[in-house]
Amino acid sequence: MVYTPRSARRGALLAGSMAVLGLLTACGNGQTVHSNPPITASGTAAPATDASTPATDASTPSAPGSPAAPSAGSPAPTRAASTAVSRATGTSGSAGATAATGTRCHTSELRASVGRNDPGAGQENFPLVLTNASHRTCTLRGFPGAAFVSAGGAQLGPDPRRESGSATTVTLRPGQSAWAGLTFSNPEVSGARTAKPAALLITPPDERDHLKVAWTGGAVPVSGNSSSVFLTVFSPGSAP
């Protein structure tokens, strides 16, 4: 048996204690080595997003009336594009108001009458008067339609012809009137065959429905020489 001095045994004991203390310290610092291999999860990685843009849950539907989110790869709409769409669709309130007040007069909004004859140089001249009977401002532009009819409703003579003239837009506030001339040669002068109408049908410009007015102007030409009846464009007022 080899004799070991006490000092040598004490040194060996101290060295062993230091080694054990070192292992315990390493474990306390979390430097444990794992023997198991890393786990890999399958799936698709989410795309990277700008940190300044809040994330959107794709499973949550958009609120009614809100624009849909653009799909991946689609460019975001620009302010200029939005403005162009607004102009194209006419969403401006002022434009809508202008269009509403500038519409033409409809047959149901008008009252018709025939003014007094103003004969001259073998011609008979009657003003056809349309009055705005509605509560809104409307317009008339161009020629009226007209037809003489019998008591049974049959048309007498051909459709009137239009005289040359430039059409202007006549604006009628409630209660205001416009007139168009109806003229024909005096049958006693022209020798045309005549008939005595019971009524005159007047159709406003660009309308299909007519207004019926009792005819008190006597006989009118319906065929033969100089039997044409002529109409003029509307002008403001109720008489020339």
Q: Work out whether strand 229-231 and strand 161-162 pair parallel, antiparallel, or are unpaired.
A: parallel
How many domains are there within the chain? 1
Residue 208 lies in domain? 107-235
Please indicate, yes or no, if residue 54 is contained in any of the structural domains: no
* Per-residue confidence (pLDDT) for residue 66, from 0 to 100: 38
Kindly report which listed range (113-127, 130-144, 215-229) carries the lowest average pLDDT score: 215-229
Please indicate, yes or no, if residue 13 is contained in any of the structural domains: no
Please indicate, yes or no, if residue 22 is contained in any of the structural domains: no
pTM of the complete model: 0.58
Please indicate, yes or no, if residue 8 is contained in any of the structural domains: no
Task: Name the more confident of 50 and 164.
Answer: 164
Task: Assign residue 176 the CATH number of its domain.
Answer: 2.60.40
Average pLDDT over residues 144-153: 97
Please indicate, yes or no, if residue 76 is contained in any of the structural domains: no
Please indicate, yes or no, if residue 9 is contained in any of the structural domains: no
Please indicate, yes or no, if residue 197 is contained in any of the structural domains: yes
Please indicate, yes or no, if residue 210 is contained in any of the structural domains: yes
Indicate whether 61 pLDDT > 90: no
